[in-house]
Amino acid sequence: MNADGSRRDRLADAAIETLAREGTRGLTHRAVDREAGLPEGSCSYYFRTRQALLQAVIERLEAVDAAEMAAPLAAAGAAGGADDADDADVVESVARLVERWTTTGRSRMLARYELALEANRRPEVRAVFVRAGRRSRAMTEAMLAAAGAPDPGAQAPLLVAYLDGLIFDHLAGAGALDLDPAGLRAALAHLLHAFRDPAGWAGHR
């Protein structure tokens, strides 16, 4: 990565931390410069407008998520939808992803919630937000297809919604569903098994 690319990523990461801590009202070019430890004016040099900054944050979130989702996708491809024993690797990989997103990736999740609210108010932000989300949904669909799900196109949005709800409840909700590591894996295994059951899914549809 060239110096400009590295600087842009550094500023986008700083904006994510600022969003998570201060919310959208606290997201200013100066605040991002301070968070990144860069000279004042650095953020506005790379991202002239607030829209440009928000777009950079959304694209950075999507890129990091996609990199982290590669492991569950690879595990599903290796399992090939063969049996429940192979599913254990898929479940473990997804569980580790959820655990990462609720611990070391916590700021990214909180920033995403802030952006989701901003996107609801600003169509130009929503367009970027929706476009960036297509890649993660496509990867989820590919993972389910590799795991042997009969209708991955319809099932992928349900899995994404389930994981989103689980993470939101843990980080920003009432915390009513605070699964321990074993409970999380059991819930994911049950969900994957239900998705792979053609008869059960046909009844659901």
At 147-186, the pLDDT tens digits run: 888 899 999 999 999 999 999 998 987 776 777 899 999 9
The answer to whether the CB of 205 falls within 8 A of the CB of 155 is no
Place 39 in a pLDDT band, splitting at 50, 70 and 90.
Answer: very high
Could you tell me the domains of the chain? 52-198 (1.10.357)
pLDDT at position 85: 47
Greatest mean pLDDT among 15-19, 128-132, 164-168, 190-194 lies in 15-19
83 confidence band (pLDDT: 50, 70, 90): low
Q: How far is CA 103 from CA 17, 35, 133, 142, 197, in A?
A: 14, 20, 21, 26, 32
pLDDT band at 205 (very low <50, low <70, confident <90, very high): low
Please give the pLDDT value at position 51: 94
C-alpha span between 72 and 90 (Å, rounded):
6
What is the structure's pLDDT at 192? 87
What percent of the chain stands above pLDDT 70? 89
Least confident of 57-66, 71-80, 92-101, 126-135: 71-80
Mean pLDDT of 29-39: 97
Give the pLDDT of residue 1: 60
Higher-confidence residue: 75 or 44? 44
Predicted confidence (pLDDT) at residue 114 exceeds the cutoff of 50: yes
